[in-house]
Amino acid sequence: MGIFQILMKKKESIPLAIIVTIAGLGAISVSVYCLFKTAVILNRSKNPEPWENVDPTQLQKFLSMNQQWKPIEELQNVRRLTK
């Protein structure tokens, strides 16, 4: 017996099946979306310090309110000395 036959016999389970399907697709799509963000590291041997390549002007979160990026002077000095 297939899924559609069960749903046709018990019509009250159709909304539940739709909600579970939408939730599953949403979870899969968010997982795939998060894999391609710069904060996720899949291969550390190729780029051991990927946080150095993050653009501070690009939004890194789903929602950021009043985000202002200001460089920290001490860190900029250390970065200049180590290069």
pLDDT in single tens digits along all 83 residues of the chain: 688 888 889 889 899 999 999 999 999 999 888 777 766 667 767 777 767 777 777 766 666 677 677 778 888 888 888 87
CB contact at 8 A, 54 and 60 = yes
Q: Is the dihedral of CA 13, 17, 19, 23 positive or negative?
A: positive
Q: What local confidence, expressed as pLDDT, does residue 16 receive?
A: 93
Lookup: tokens for 30: 């968010």
